[in-house]
């Protein structure tokens, strides 16, 4: 993945790695990746938007090259990091682009800081479960070789081009020694502990409440091959938030910016112009 040089910032006593494209002073876009992913999923999006926007992409706590967090990974900790970043960078207004859990973080930040947000892009994430359960075996924490890791993840996700998936994995994995096993950079607790967001009635209600209260435009970008956001949930989201539009991306799974970057970029560019 062709990323600019990473920079570090301390937010809530956690070292956070971030990347930026474009010119300071231009309108700001902040990109938040999905669970167990990293800022590299925006490697095509950042450059595509850099002529007119100042784009930031964060490795959120416990992910990528950011620090593992002793203070934990409750949803509000991620939201607090986003808030601290916006304050530290003196950002007066921004567009939030959140993939999967990054979308949840965007909604919960926006409901308490509506004056700071112009628009939100939710990438393949809903405010409650779709009702479709995909059973997958537990993800290994280590792989003897990179090729084994690639084949394992490819069996779960056939949608991104091979070079994109390979680059994605190269940034997700680390090898302690040149001949040792490959392990995830992500804090293992995030891999072994199920997300509660779609199981907790309290969190689900908070997402619905946020959606109902937001007055600015929201775009839901679904991967057409993903089952994360059902038609029923999407229609009820539109009823709750009349400012919400949606578009499906054919041939894409859950992480649309990884699977279909050119299509994703064109959709966002056209929507932002509205």
| Ranges of the chain with pLDDT below 50 | none
Domains and CATH numbers, the chain: 7-133+195-272 (3.40.50.1820)
pLDDT (0 to 100) of residue 138 = 81
Q: What angle do CA 46, 48, 52 make, to 5 degrees?
A: 90
Distance CA 125, CA 129 (A): 9
Q: Which two tokens stand for residue 208?
A: 């619905």
The DSSP result for 105-130, as a single string, is: HHHHHHHH-GGGEEEEEEES--SS--
| 105-163 pLDDT, tens digit each | 999 999 999 999 999 999 999 999 997 666 667 889 999 999 999 999 999 999 999 99
Instruction: Choose among 155, 133, 134: nearest CA to 143.
Output: 155
pLDDT (0 to 100) of residue 103 = 98
């Amino acid at each position: 993945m062709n990323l600019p040089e990473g920079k570090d910032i301390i937010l809530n006593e956690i070292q956070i790695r971030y990347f930026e494209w474009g010119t300071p002073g231009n309108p700001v876009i902040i990109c938040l990746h999905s669970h167990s992913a990293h800022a590299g999923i925006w490697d095509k999006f950042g450059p595509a938007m850099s002529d007119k926007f100042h784009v930031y992409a964060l490795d959120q706590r416990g992910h990528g090259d950011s620090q593992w967090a002793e203070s934990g990974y409750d949803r509000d900790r991620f939201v607090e990091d986003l808030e601290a970043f916006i304050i530290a960078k003196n950002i007066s207004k921004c567009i939030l682009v959140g993939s999967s859990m990054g979308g949840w973080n965007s909604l919960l930040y926006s409901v308490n800081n509506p004056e700071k947000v112009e628009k939100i892009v939710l990438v393949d994430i809903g405010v409650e479960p779709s009702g479709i359960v995909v059973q997958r075996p537990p993800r290994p924490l280590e792989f003897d070789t990179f090729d084994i890791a690639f084949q394992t993840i490819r069996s779960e996700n056939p949608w991104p081009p091979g070079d994109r998936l390979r680059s994605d994995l190269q940034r997700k994995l680390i090898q302690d020694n040149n001949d040792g096993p490959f392990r995830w950079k992500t804090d293992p607790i995030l891999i072994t502990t199920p997300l509660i967001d779609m199981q907790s009635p309290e969190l689900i209600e908070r997402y619905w409440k946020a959606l109902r209260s937001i007055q600015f435009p929201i775009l839901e970008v679904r991967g057409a091959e993903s089952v994360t956001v059902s038609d029923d949930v999407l229609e009820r989201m539109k009823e709750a938030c009349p400012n919400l539009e949606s578009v499906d991306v054919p041939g894409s799974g859950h992480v649309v910016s990884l699977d279909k970057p050119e299509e994703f970029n064109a959709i966002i560019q056209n929507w932002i112009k509205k």
